[in-house]
Structure 1
Amino acid sequence: MMITVSPCFHWVGYHISTGLLQEGYEVIGIDGMDDLLSDHLYMYVGRNSNFQHFYNHTDKENHLQIGEEERKVSIDDYLIVILSGEGSSLVRRIEIPELYGEWMDIHSLNLQSPDELYEWVIKNDAVYITDFLKVMIPLIIEEKAQTSTVIFDQEKSDEDRKRNVEAVWKSHMVSLSLGII
């Protein structure tokens, strides 16, 4: 099965793309790569033989012949839409819960420390990106359409949440030091 992810270098799209690649799926990434973070994230997946990048959907359509086995995953800030096949029939629409994870835009939240990020996670009942993917990846590859409510599990303990916040903050500091955000 081939899965198109757009935008593939939005921080959530990047995690969905890498999650699908780790499961052995072929991923077509659509992204205009209009910032330094996109360039940086491309380096993590660009050499994977199961990944192809196109700047837009027209380029993809001009270079690839995709059949009924394709899934299309479109991501915006609050919604993921999953389409299937050449006719692009709707499989699912999933509202994205508040998420946090590596490569997220911490600046837009105006957070200045790991403690502030931790407070934001608690206040917003945010779901860690890895926990989100444990539910999301099977929904993307599932064959039939479903309209049921999707429940995303939280970390099992406060210690897990703190460890995840520290990892997110570390990636944020790496981004700052590299000048990519």
Structure 2
Amino acid sequence: MHFLVSQCYSWEGYHLVQALLEDGHEVSGLHGPSLSDREVHLSMYLGRHAMFSEGVQNRDYKAYISFFGSAETDIVSHRHVDISYEAGDAPKRGNQILLPILYGEWMPRDEHALSWNGNQIPFEDAYFCRHALPIKPVMQTISKLLSGNREIEKFQFYTKEVCPEQEDRTVIALARNLTDDLAVLHRHYAQYSRFYN
């Protein structure tokens, strides 16, 4: 299958492209006119993959995936899926995946806090500790959803601790080990901090 991903060198886009490539899909990536140092760094990882290409190709895309409402209106695809962070009561829109606060390699951060939705959130913040999910399993799950035949209307991710008890099959609960995950991420940041800025 072939997918088109906007903002492919953003932190979130990079991890989704990686998950799609690991699942054996071809990916075309779109990005803005100028790249940050981090995006240039991440583009070097993706650019070496034989199943990845930049720009819109003359292909029949299984889906066009955009982040945060960044879809280009002139792109034709079987379906369009927008991936956004939930902020309070998000308006109901079709073909949408809502993310909780995420953490993982290359996330926008400094030594003590991550940047999320325009805010600096310390790693010991109660909201972060209760709701944050690791980006890699989230994007791996999204890759599986995108490649399946089930129509995506609106999916939402939660940690197992806060997942609402309901029969709604569009709610996805994931487990995590926040303490171990953060220890690994802090070591990664210490080693590659110049690429995080």
Q: State the distance in 1 between where 2:35 and 2:70 align.
A: 21
Q: Which runs of 5+ in 2 are unaligned?
A: 82-94, 154-168
TM-score by length of 1: 0.74
Equivalent pairs, count? 157
Give the CA deviation at 1:51.
0.5
CA displacement at 1:90 relative to structure 2: 4.4
Deviations 1:24-48 (A, max 9, x none): 1101111125210011001111111
- How far apart, in 1, do the equivalents of 2:195 and 2:101 lie? 26
Q: 1:131 to 1:179 in 2, by over 3 A?
A: closer
Equivalents in 1 of 2:70, 2:149: separation in Å?
17
- Measured against aligned partners, the alpha-carbon deviations of 1:41-97 in whole angstroms (never above 9, x if no partner) come to 01111111100123xxxxx2xxx2122x43111112xx798xxx9454446211111
After TM superposition, the structure 1 = structure 2 runs for residues 18-167 of structure 1, keeping only pairs within 5 Å, are: 18-32=18-32, 33-54=34-55, 60=56, 64-67=57-60, 69-76=61-68, 86-90=76-80, 92-107=95-110, 108=115, 109-110=119-120, 116-119=122-125, 121-123=128-130, 125-147=131-153, 148-155=169-176, 160-167=177-184
Larger helix proportion of the pair: 1
Compute the TM-score of the two structures, normalised by the length of structure 2.
0.68
Query: Gaps spanning 5+ residues in structure 1: where?
Result: 55-59
For residues 18 and 34 of structure 1, the distance between their equivalents in structure 2, rounded to whole angstroms, comes to: 18
**Contact between 1:4 and 1:72, CA under 8 Å: does it hold in 2?**
yes
Whole-Å Cα distance in 1 between the matches of residues 6 and 185 of structure 2? 23
Is the alpha carbon distance of 1:39 and 1:80 closer, same or farther for their aligned partners in structure 2, counting shifts above 3 Å? closer
Written as runs of structure 1 = structure 2, the 5 A alignment for 1:3-22 is 3-22=3-22
Q: In structure 2, how many angstroms separate the alpha carbons of the residues matched to 1:133 and 1:171?
A: 19
Query: Quick check: 44-53 or 167-176, which moved more?
Result: 167-176
Kept after mapping to 2: 8 A contact 1:5/1:27: yes
Q: Give, in whole Å, the separation in 2 of the partners of 1:72 and 1:39.
A: 22
Q: Does the Cα contact within 8 Å between 1:66 and 1:86 map onto a contact in 2?
A: no
| Structure 2 partner of 1:57 | none
Give, as a single letter, the amino acid of the residue that structure 2 aligns with 1:110: Q
Q: Could you tell me how far apart the structure 1 residues matched to 2:22 and 2:196 are?
A: 25
Report the Cα distance in structure 2 between the residues aligned to 1:152 and 1:99, rounded to whole angstroms.
14
Conserved 8 A contact 2:63-2:80? no
State whether residues 135 and 152 of structure 1, in contact with CA within 8 Å, keep that contact through their aligned partners in structure 2.
no
Amino acid at match of 2:173: F
Task: Give the deviation of 1:16 after TM superposition.
Answer: 0.5
Summarize deviations over 1:136-157 as a string: whole Å, max 9, x none.
11111122314352313121xx
> Are the counterparts in 1 of residues 103 and 135 from structure 2 also a CA contact under 8 Å?
yes
How much identity, in percent, do the aligned residues show? 25
